[in-house]
A and B are shown apart, each in its own frame.
Chain A
């Protein structure tokens, strides 16, 4: 667990009673270590990033949240908002103890406005549920975080989640047109709404998107919808080398003139681990890299032409084989290979650091030999997979199972620093979609100057003078 020196007061029995008065007896957990423990960490596996909260509060309304935040300001207690806890930066970890504010009870879809192609919901709606409800309307929320079956929309907005379909549809923020939230001082405010265009004042909505719970707690979210594409075809393309696979990526978009929904890349290590884990029988042994390309649209013939063109371009780039999945059975089988990489490496070692570096796409091939150098230097595996179409790569250092845990903890910061330095040198940055949280905080200066960080600090200080909301994240105030 992290040890942090901070100026906050603890949640006392008296404060716990006040919290109970605000949200109701059964929605406060206090003094019960066993029940509080699950809220001490997110999906980041390392215990060193965890920290226990003193109380868990589960409000049901914006007014309750406002009252909690006002109380926290008065008593100088840290408040960390939390969704489903599937984050990968430590964003929902209560680094300074205090209150974890869980939004799971605020899980209603408030309005599906088909005429305006808008959906209004509370932050605790499971992201997948949004599209389940929209299917009957022929509409879709195009954000697609990889954890969509568990994560909450509030967390997606707070982290500006990316995912597997960003090449064509962009990331979460593109679809957020309004937020109602509780400010760090406890005011209920609303920015934006159902208007597609809105330049009234600062773009506060997009400042809140990706603010990692440091600038406000969402209570309502306005989401712009799209017509649901009727047809989707996936190609799983096997290449002998990484270079061949990566060369194909820009060509699909430039010579092919097609923007696929997804272009996912998997290197040899990732492919082999995942296929072995799944007992997959496609001939992966001789393959040095794979691409998973998805094209979608509303016209079957058009989608057919598109995937055929993409497939032929891949063959020109030296693809060994192009598999085509155009129905549920085969589509699932193909995506499983991509989705199970992280799970497969948990079998090798549960100790791994799932990173999400991002570089300009043309620089991906230059990244791969650097990762190989790092693996050799530290005698570890670094599988590399991810969203090649966005240059967003999950280079994931995995602990060597035969090395000691002390050794792993000793080398990991060096690996991270070297990895991030290489990324910066290649024109990239340290997080494309997971966020900074406290996991990557100390590496921020590698890609950002002091003046830039200071300007962000000033925003934080102005909105949250007591530094109540999610303290210790992104940068130190």
Chain B
């Protein structure tokens, strides 16, 4: 059975198919409004993530399906000491598909090895978050028309930012990619992402601490939040959290067709004045996230023979 734990579980062709289905859902929502009638999505959220959970739930409702689940570990059997494996076995008796968020890395993989229904990783600690990457890819495809010959700037926390690592490895499969890595020294992209993803794929990349210097080159600027929960040390978090803040002033030299993306939630790293700028795409990303999750639920349920 097909699960989605890591974006690398999907081939380039499968991602293209998902994007095509998502675009068709956007164009013809009524065609899909009963596609999952009578089917249930279980959202097992062992740590709170309101936006991802709501996105999955909205996706399932828009496909005519139903949703059950929990939104924090305290309200699940995990608080009684149940293992992830047992939770997956039990829930797969009730639901047709599972979306799991867990603070421990690898928990959704454990669930998938013990589930009779498809499991989608809705984020496991600082590890993977493949549906965010799918949302990013759908946004790039809709804004840029494709993935080739793009110069993409990643700015902020490139060390702990799993969405960045995941998007880089997804984009590395396409021709003509140039990556600009903009971060403070302490939050640089881990060397393994460079040695295992960028270098083998022959991708041109630049590491810099200056956002302004490379702004005129960028087709996409992917901003990230410095996440408090990824730091063991509060002092480090406070020192680095305001490292890069995007303001209208900094955008002056940017291309008119730049796309500004952010996985959200933002704290203060994109000034609210930029929300009105037509180049701001981050709220479109949220909407695209729902559509690509609809496409993914459909694909996995079909492949499992459940619809």
- A and B are partners in one complex rather than unrelated chains: no
